[in-house]
Copies of this chain bind each other. A is one copy, B any other.
Amino acid sequence: MIRIKDIAREAGVSPTTVSNVIHGNRKKVSGETVKRIEKLLKDREYIPSMGARMLAGGSTRVIGILVAEPGGEKRCVEGHPFANILLRSLEREIYERNYYMLLHFTATPEEGIQFAATWNVEGLITIGFGTGDNLRLQGSCKVPIVSIDVYYDDERMANVGLDDKGGGALMTKYLLDTGHRKIGFVADNDVGVDHERWKGVCKAHEDYGVKDACVRHIIIPEERRTRREYYRKYLAQLASEYDALFFASDYYAVEAMAVLRDMGISVPEDLSVAGFDDTESAVMCRPLLTTVHQDVERKAEHAVRKLLAFIQGERKISMTERLPVTLVLRDSVKNR
């Protein structure tokens, strides 16, 4: 391993000068020296020691990614169909800016706090945490935190998410436009993101001002086995009561379409189905799923950008950010 000291000796300068060259402090070093050192750095394949860096300066260049893992369940899979793309995009954004990404799946915010402290991370991005946990984390870590997909109307917490309410409204308006009057919004909870989407559904109904329209929020079990049970019991009934079912995620929509097919109920002839997310599965199923598209890579990019802005101490950064969302018309909704 080659150290700054070695380079310095070989170049006949002091370690400080080499360090300055490395960090681009061009004002402190003569242009000629810079060139000479840079060549040496490259020739000798100098590689910095993160350990020493972390210990010496405050700057560790580490960003921690905390993914919530409630109860050891692999929710990250179902709940976050984009987990892999998101992680990949985050890492790319982080690495491009000369930071490193330390990933940890954690059940409790406490573990996250310890994790952050141990590595002296410069910032944290949280995925899948509820507002409570995020706030707790925020309270115990001095470093900036940006959360992804959390809803908190207060401006206390930096987060980037989608225009979920707008997305909900967009799809609902489309459903209304295509003649649907009994719309069921199906989700496994009524908080955070899903609640926002539901608010969009309601708002679209209000704006539309149809008197005869009926809309309801249907809560389905989160756990797969019991959800299947639920479908077996109630899905046929739902299909007869509603003319469109708008699912809070593609995952649920695709699953329901499969069950509906098993029951001999045709989508979209007997019932229109819509999803949210525009995951890969939306084009792997039949009929192709009409859904709301989100741009995951952009979400990652914005999260990293925002975090780094905080780290660099910029003022005037908006706390919450809602990325736009678009309607993707496919085959699972039909004109009535």
State the A residues within 8 Å of B (CB).
1, 47-55, 60, 67, 69, 74, 76-78, 80, 83-85, 87-88, 91-92, 95, 100-105, 114, 117-120, 254-255, 258, 261-262, 280-281, 284-286
A120 and B286 contacting across the interface, CB-CB below 8 Å:
no
Q: Can you name the residue of chain B whose Cβ is closest to the Cβ of A280?
A: B77
Given contacts A83-B84, A84-B83, A87-B87, contact A118 B284 (CB under 8 A): no
Identical chains in the assembly: 2
B50 and A120 contacting across the interface, CB-CB below 8 Å:
yes
Instruction: Return chain B residues, CB-CB under 8 Å to A51.
Output: 50-55, 60, 120
The 4 closest A-B pairs by CB, nearest first: A51-B54, A51-B55, A83-B84, A84-B84
A102 and B104 contacting across the interface, CB-CB below 8 Å:
no
Pairs across A and B, CB under 8 Å, 29 listed: A47-B114, A49-B54, A49-B55, A50-B54, A50-B120, A51-B53, A51-B55, A52-B54, A54-B54, A74-B88, A76-B88, A77-B84, A77-B88, A80-B84, A84-B84, A87-B87, A87-B103, A88-B105, A91-B105, A92-B105, A95-B105, A100-B119, A101-B103, A103-B103, A258-B284, A258-B285, A258-B286, A281-B281, A281-B284
A91 and B104 contacting across the interface, CB-CB below 8 Å:
yes
Apart from A50-B54, A51-B55: 6 A-B pairs, beta carbons within 8 A: A49-B118, A78-B280, A91-B105, A102-B102, A284-B285, A285-B285
A52 to B49, CA, bound (A): 11
Instruction: Return chain B residues, CB-CB under 8 Å to A100.
Output: 102, 104, 119
A78 to B280, CA, bound (A): 9
Instruction: Return chain B residues, CB-CB under 8 Å to A261.
Output: 286
Instruction: Return chain B residues, CB-CB under 8 Å to A120.
Output: 49-51
A11 to B76, CA, bound (A): 43
Instruction: Return chain B residues, CB-CB under 8 Å to A77.
Output: 84-85, 88, 280
A80 to B52, CA, bound (A): 36
Smallest beta-carbon distance A38→chain B, Å: 16
